[in-house]
Amino acid sequence: MKVEDLVVRYGKVTAVRDVSFTVEDGEFVSLLGPSGCGKTTTLRCIAGLEASSAGVIRIGEEIVAADGLEVPPEKRGINMVFQSYAVWPHMSVFENVAYGLRTRREPREQIEAKVGEALSTVGLEGYAKRYGTELSGGQQQRVALARAIVTSPRLLLFDEPLSNLDAGLRERMRYELVELQRRLGKTSLYVTHDQSEAMLMSDRIILMKDGEMVQMGSPRDLYDRPASRFAAEFIGNANLVTGEIRRADQRRAEVVLEGGIVLEGGFAWPDHARQSGPVLVCVRSESIERVPEGTTGVNCLDAVVETVSFLGATISCVLRVGTLGLRADLAARNPPEPGSAIRVRIDPEAVTLISEH
């Protein structure tokens, strides 16, 4: 599936601006971003539920939307799962799932076999005769999923399908959904505003802001090398400090932070590499580790522990390093006392220099 230079305008509002990306066959890609950034609009254009103002959309090799061309949704070979389950309450589970096959006038035995298989795939064997009203939220979402896969679409589209479920069930369904997608090898595009959901489920993430794509990459890429303040703050816990480059090659640089502390780190993106000037420095809170007193080397610093919060596996501390306050997640074994002086090291690989400042 391929989107090229997609633009969607509603009157004066541009909801989607020059969005371009590809989802490879069998890949699971997420559109991630805050409320109103254009995720649903992008998805609805691909589904054919919304007309684009400009751009080209291909599903497989087929152009489904372009200037003057709009293939109707039912002819696109896609299925969509929404936040609201949209399970018809007056129909049995079987009829809900069979609907798409019936509209194609497939033979009865074939419909029965396919529905049976889809229900077992989503773990709903034995529920065929129940009515929509007799199901829990999680079960309704499984019905919606069975309905989406039963017609063997070329592409599955998901719009926040888990956000109506309670936290525990949502967590379980994330793993189930991903496992199901891997098993079926279905090309999938998934919309969410939840960064941990996108991180856990996706092969690649497209980060969006104000209708535009701001970064695209594997969950690891986005986490380790955020290319902007927005990306660093939206994904994971980041300490963001301004600094000035003192020395640099293509990948690494030495930066003097506000307050005079010197850190070594890597550029977010090779084309961000610079020889001098101000940068924003992102230090992930879990990349700060305690080392024995007197340890020397790159990015070893003296710190004073200001606060300590116990989180179970880790402790969350606020450290004072010179005039800087840094949040650090340290191992919970032998936690430092508040007020004590400790030595820490920050892995240079986990220090990211962002051009924006």
Q: Which amino acid would we find at residue 311?
A: L
In this complex, which beta carbon is closest to Mg ion, that of residue 40 or of residue 139? Answer: 40
Binding partner of 132, given Mg ion, ligand ATP, none, CB within 5-8 angstroms per partner class: none
Rounded to a whole number of angstroms, the minimum distance from the CB of residue 70 to ligand ATP is: 16
> Interface residues for ligand ATP in 31-60 (CB under 6 A)?
33, 35-41
Out of 13, 167, 311, 313, name the contact with ligand ATP by CB under 6 A.
13
Q: Would you state the structure tokens that stand for residue 164, as one six-digit string?
A: 């109506």
In this complex, which beta carbon is closest to ligand ATP, that of residue 36 or of residue 185? Answer: 36
Rounded to a whole number of angstroms, the minimum distance from the CB of residue 156 to ligand ATP is: 17
- Residues that bind Mg ion in the complex, under the rule CB under 5 A: 40
Q: Would you state the structure tokens that stand for residue 315, as one six-digit string?
A: 């402790």
In this complex, which beta carbon is closest to ligand ATP, that of residue 33 or of residue 236? Answer: 33
In this complex, which beta carbon is closest to Mg ion, that of residue 82 or of residue 127? Answer: 82
In this complex, which beta carbon is closest to ligand ATP, that of residue 174 or of residue 193? Answer: 193
- Quickly list DSSP for 320-350: EETTEEEEEEEESSSPPPTT-EEEEEE-GGG
Q: Which of 269, 284, 274, 173 is nearest to 227 (CA)?
A: 269
- Quickly list DSSP for 176-197: HHHHHHHHHT--EEEEES-HHH
Binding partner of 193, given Mg ion, ligand ATP, none, CB within 5-8 angstroms per partner class: ligand ATP
Q: Which amino acid would we find at residue 95?
A: E
> Interface residues for ligand ATP in 140-199 (CB under 6 A)?
193
Rounded to a whole number of angstroms, the minimum distance from the CB of residue 318 to ligand ATP is: 32
Binding partner of 142, given ligand ATP, Mg ion, none, CB within 5-8 angstroms per partner class: none
Phi-psi region of 340 (alpha: psi -120 to 50; beta: other; left: phi over 0): beta
**Max CA separation in the chain (angstroms):** 77
In this complex, which beta carbon is closest to ligand ATP, that of residue 36 or of residue 259? Answer: 36
- Quickly list DSSP for 225-245: S--SHHHHHHSS-EEEEEEEE
Distance in angstroms (rounded) separating the CA atoms of residues 110 and 116: 10
- Quickly list DSSP for 74-108: GGTTEEEE-SS----TTSBHHHHHHHHHHHTT--H
Q: Is 12 in the site for ligand ATP (CB under 6 A)?
A: no
What are the residues binding ligand ATP (CB under 6 A)? Answer: 10, 13, 15, 33, 35-41, 193
